[in-house]
Structure formats: structure tokens, C-alpha cells
């Protein structure tokens, strides 16, 4: 792969403990307990949000949960909807906009839905913080709006909502800012649970893990605690929908199996977009009748088609990015080769491949839309802020953001974005370096160390799967112990090489790269 290998000094301790120490991760299960999560009361405005919800429940006011059509938004909507159900409140509905039909945020179709339904309260989850005009229109209908979101805040354009709960607010004292949308909703439910003296079903933590992993939020801090709770206490976590999915999954016997199942569930509910605020995945999750099996089959077919389309897009991007050299990857899809719903996934694929800021653009619903992704050392939202005079709307996270603009602004934006990138990353780069975290031996890859290695879970942003290295080894020696995924690399079987790899499970390694062993 022609990457430069950055190889660390030999570990003075167990290599797993060394990785944890280098990353600042605790392997102490007691420290990772959800009992040690920061106090939800530190959220700015959580009292106002919870009080308005309780007022709606006590007065039997009709309310609607306005979600987002990705797994983070779907799980956010699901756990809040179900919590209301368990409290005996029955006047709530949900509305999940379809990004293929409607622009992001509160739009005319939803406003009409609220008007016709006579809703007095809207709760946005995993969105809303950039919907100034939409909130203003809902206010004109006499409808209060609670925004429960996690996306970055633009203080000068905060929507005129009844109350906003978002860790990114300047006056929010909640110490961990990296929660997913479903993580913020979970903190609200924990607060309401204490106020109402009503228990939280443990399955909500599973769906919080699903949404968090899918949204690629940092797997550190409170996120790590939330997901680790599911990994550690898996035997005591049950729910009708997750139990249904387990019956169609290979096995769930270990922490890595649970982690893989969480990822499977995230892929499964990534489909299901419909019209009119309906969503097949959310309907499946809520369904308790025999219709659940039919909805499962529909979603399974959609997932398989989605994965096939994803593979086609990845091959297309491989061809586009072959031999690319530059400090940012910019591609305008004027041939409509990449579906709008896969722009973000495609941008992530390029970032993982090239390690540089990536933006993919195309025309959609009469506007130019963009999804941008980046790795450490660059802030996508800051780059869009620098060019906001050319945009209609933008928002997101430092490493994942998007915007819309008029087609006429394309050239001006590209000039502005390139200028910003040049100011932040003046040196052009090709394919990035490979950061090895530990040099190990085959003897180090023991069952005992695998158990310890699972304590590094969950993997994700800021806690990626470690890249390890076997030095001066032959592939046939590795194959005597492990199954291997060579990722189409033609690794010589009998030649002595250095192999960089990811330890996928106790019996499987995925080869990342190899090189001839350097004589010492």
C-alpha cells in the first residue's frame, strides 16, 4: 500500500495495557459504570424541557416527536416514544422526514402535519438546532418546541424554541460534549425517570449504543460508559425488538459478539425511509404483532440492496481516488453516481482511505448539497463557517458536517473552501502513514490477552481498532494459528515479512499492510 509505517518502541508492559494507557483509557469496569455518568442536571435547560413534557403528559396534550432519518435519529425517537408509552401517556406521535424528499430540518410538510394534527408540543430529537425559520413557523401556530439535539450550535441563530437541551450550548455545564443525539435523549429520560419515579427499561441502553455507534461519535467518556454498560451487562438486557433481531443473528457469546450485533442493528435500521413522516424501521421497532416479521423481511431486503449499492459506490470512489495527491478531496457528482443518502458514507470512506478532508457534492431537490468528513487536525464545521456567506444552511460535528447552497454559489464556495484548507493544511499529502500501536508476537495473541483486549471496546472515533505488527514472520506461521482476512493483498506465504494487522476476534486477524522485513 506504500504507506510509511510509524513503529513504536517495544512495550515495557502487557501490550493491551500499554495501548489503554497511551489512549488514556481505564480498563477498570467500576470506573466505566453508568452510575458514574455525569449528573444530568448539569444540562442547561433540562428542568424547563422536563417540566414542559410533564405538563403535556398531565394535561393529556397531543405532542409529536420530530426525528431524523438516520439510526441516531430513529433510536432517539424510539426510546423517547417508548418511554412515554411505559408512563401510560398515549397522545404522542412521531414524524421522521425523508431526506430524499425533504431538505434537512423543520420544513413545510411537517409544519402542515402539526397544524392538521392540532399538536401543542413538538420535541425535536437529533435535529432542530439549525431550524430557526421552522421553529418560528411552529410558534405562529401556538405550538411550543423543545429542541433536544447534539449538533454544533451557531449562537447567533439559535431557534426561538420554548427550551433547548444541547451539550454544545455555551452555558451548558454538562462536561461531556460528544454525546450522540440518542445519548442526549437518554440523559433526558434518565432525568424524567428520577422526576417521575419511573424505571428505565434496560433495552434503552442498547438502542442508545446502536445510535451512538452508528453516528460515529467519540467512543470515549460518557459514550464509552453507555456502550460498555451494554457489553458488560448483556445477559440482563432484554427487549422485544432486540430479542427478535438476535434470533436472526449468528451468535452473541462474548463482548465482541455484542459489539458486532450492535453494528448489525445499526445497519439494519439505516433503511426504511417513507413519505408522510412514516419510517419502516421505526414501525418495526414499535410493532408487537405478527406484522413485525413482515416488516423485518422488508427491511432485510432493503439492507441487502443498500449494502450492494454501497459496494458499488466504494468501487466508484476507489477509481476516483486512485493515485490521488492533495490536501483535500473534493468531488462534484454531476453524473448522479452516488445516491444522496450515501454521500456521507462515501466521504467517510475516502477519509479512511486517504486521511484528508473530503467533501462530496451533488444537486438534490433543486439545491446543491454537500457532506463533508475529516479526521483529526481539521474541523469541518469551522471550514463551512468560514464560507457561510455562500451557504443556505449548514451544521453538524467537527468531523462530520453538511450544508445546502444554491447551484450558482458552487464556484465561490469551492474557492473559499480551498483557501481555508490551504490555510489549515498547507502541505499536500498523498496516502497517509500507518500508525502501529504495538509490536507483538504470535505468543502475545493468546486467549487471555484477547479477554483483556475486549476491555478496549467499544471501538470508534478517538478509540479506533488498534493496528498491531508482527515482525519477521511468515504467513504460513500466522495461518497455523489464525484465520486471516487479507483484504485482497497478495501477501507471500513463505517469505519472511512484517505484517500490520487488526485483531478482529480471538481466531481472526485482518491484514492491513505488509512489507519485507528490515534486517537489524
| 229-266 tens-digit pLDDT | 999 999 999 999 999 999 989 889 999 999 999 999 99
How many CB atoms sit inside 10 A of residue 443's CB? 8
Contact call for residues 165 and 192 (beta carbons, < 8 A): no
Do strands 468-473 and 438-440 pair parallel, antiparallel, or not at all (unpaired)? parallel
Distance of CA 111 to the CA centre of its chain: 28
Q: Is the peptide bond before 99 cis (omega within 30 degrees of 0)?
A: no
Let me know if 407 is exposed, middle or buried by CB neighbors in 10 A (0-12, 13-18, 19+): exposed
Contact call for residues 380 and 399 (beta carbons, < 8 A): yes
Do strands 508-516 and 483-485 pair parallel, antiparallel, or not at all (unpaired)? parallel
| 480-515 tens-digit pLDDT | 999 999 887 888 888 999 999 999 999 999 999 999
* Residue ranges, CATH 3.90.1640.30, the chain: 34-286
Whole-structure pTM value: 0.92
Fold of 310-424: Diaminopimelate Epimerase; Chain A, domain 1 (3.10.310)
Continuous segment of H or E residues that includes residue 175:
none
Do strands 63-66 and 121-125 pair parallel, antiparallel, or not at all (unpaired)? parallel
Q: Considering the chain, what percentage of its residues have pLDDT values greater than 90?
A: 85
At 427 the pLDDT is 55
Q: Considering the chain, what percentage of its residues have pLDDT values greater than 70?
A: 98
| 131: DSSP letter | -
Contact call for residues 180 and 150 (beta carbons, < 8 A): yes
| 275-322 tens-digit pLDDT | 999 999 999 999 999 999 999 999 999 999 999 999 999 999 999 999
Q: Name the grid cell of 335.
A: 453524473
User: 85 pLDDT exceeds 90?
Assistant: yes
Continuous segment of H or E residues that includes residue 475:
helix 475-479
- Residues 394 and 325: their CA atoms lie apart, in Å, by 28
Interior CA angle at 283 toward 134 and 199, to 5°? 85
Q: Name the grid cell of 196.
A: 417521575
User: 107 pLDDT exceeds 60?
Assistant: yes
Fold of 34-286: inorganic pyrophosphatase (n-terminal core) (3.90.1640)
Let me know if 13 is exposed, middle or buried by CB neighbors in 10 A (0-12, 13-18, 19+): exposed
Let me know if 140 is exposed, middle or buried by CB neighbors in 10 A (0-12, 13-18, 19+): exposed
Amino acid at each position: 500500500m506504500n504507506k510509511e509505517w510509524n513503529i513504536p518502541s517495544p512495550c515495557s508492559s502487557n501490550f493491551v495495557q500499554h495501548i489503554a494507557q497511551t489512549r488514556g483509557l481505564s480498563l477498570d469496569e467500576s470506573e466505566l459504570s453508568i452510575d458514574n455518568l455525569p449528573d444530568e442536571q448539569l444540562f442547561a435547560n433540562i428542568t424547563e424541557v422536563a417540566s414542559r413534557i410533564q405538563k403535556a403528559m398531565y394535561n393529556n396534550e397531543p405532542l409529536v416527536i420530530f426525528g431524523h432519518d438516520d439510526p441516531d435519529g430513529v433510536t432517539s425517537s424510539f426510546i423517547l416514544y417508548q418511554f412515554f408509552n411505559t408512563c401510560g401517556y398515549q397522545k404522542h406521535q412521531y414524524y421522521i422526514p425523508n431526506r430524499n424528499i425533504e431538505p434537512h430540518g423543520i420544513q413545510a410538510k411537517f409544519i402542515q402535519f402539526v397544524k392538521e394534527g392540532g399538536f401543542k408540543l413538538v420535541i425535536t430529537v437529533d435535529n432542530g438546532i439549525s431550524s430557526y425559520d421552522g421553529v418560528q413557523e411552529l410558534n405562529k401556530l401556538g405550538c411550543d418546541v423543545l429542541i433536544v439535539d447534539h449538533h454544533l450550535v451557531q449562537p447567533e441563530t439559535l431557534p426561538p424554541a420554548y427550551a433547548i437541551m444541547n451539550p454544545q450550548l455555551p452555558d451548558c455545564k454538562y462536561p461531556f460534549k460528544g454525546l450522540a443525539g440518542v445519548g442526549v435523549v437518554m440523559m433526558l429520560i434518565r432525568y424524567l425517570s428520577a422526576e417521575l419515579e419511573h424505571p428505565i427499561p434496560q433495552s434503552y441502553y442498547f438502542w442508545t449504543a446502536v445510535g451512538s455507534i452508528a453516528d460515529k461519535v467519540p467512543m470515549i467518556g460518557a459514550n464509552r460508559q453507555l456502550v460498555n454498560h451494554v457489553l458488560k451487562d448483556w445477559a440482563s438486557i432484554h427487549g422485544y425488538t432486540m430479542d427478535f433481531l438476535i434470533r436472526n443473528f449468528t451468535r452473541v457469546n462474548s463482548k465482541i459478539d455484542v459489539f458486532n450485533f450492535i453494528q448489525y442493528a445499526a445497519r439494519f435500521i439505516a433503511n426504511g425511509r417513507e413519505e408522510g413522516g412514516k419510517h419502516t424501521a421505526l414501525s418495526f421497532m414499535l410493532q408487537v404483532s405478527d406484522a413485525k416479521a413482515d416488516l423485518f423481511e422488508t427491511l432485510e431486503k432493503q439492507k441487502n440492496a443498500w449494502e450492494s449499492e454501497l459496494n458499488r459506490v466504494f468501487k466508484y470512489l476507489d477509481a476516483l481516488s486512485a493515485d490521488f495527491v492533495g490536501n483535500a478531496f473534493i468531488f462534484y457528482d454531476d453524473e448522479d453516481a452516488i445516491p444522496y443518502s450515501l454521500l456521507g458514507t462515501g466521504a467517510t470512506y475516502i477519509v479512511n482511505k486517504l486521511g484528508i478532508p473530503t467533501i462530496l457534492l451533488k444537486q438534490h431537490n433543486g439545491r446543491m448539497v454537500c457532506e463533508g468528513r475529516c479526521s483529526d487536525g481539521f474541523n469541518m464545521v469551522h471550514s463551512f463557517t468560514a464560507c457561510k456567506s455562500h451557504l443556505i444552511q449548514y451544521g453538524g460535528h467537527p468531523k462530520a458536517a453538511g450544508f445546502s447552497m444554491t447551484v450558482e454559489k458552487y464556484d465561490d464556495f469551492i474557492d473559499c473552501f480551498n483557501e481555508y484548507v490551504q490555510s489549515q493544511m498547507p502541505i499536500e499529502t498523498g496516502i497517509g502513514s500507518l500508525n502501529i500501536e504495538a509490536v507483538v508476537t504470535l505468543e502475545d495473541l493468546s486467549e487471555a490477552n484477547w479477554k483483556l483486549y475486549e476491555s478496549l471496546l467499544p471501538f470508534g472515533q478517538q478509540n479506533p481498532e488498534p493496528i498491531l505488527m508482527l515482525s519477521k514472520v511468515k504467513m504460513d506461521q500466522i495461518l497455523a494459528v489464525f484465520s486471516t482476512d487479507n483484504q485482497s493483498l497478495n501477501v507471500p506465504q513463505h517469505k519472511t515479512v512484517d505484517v500490520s494487522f487488526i485483531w478482529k476476534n480471538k481466531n481472526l486477524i485482518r491484514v492491513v499492510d505488509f512489507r519485507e522485513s528490515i534486517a537489524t
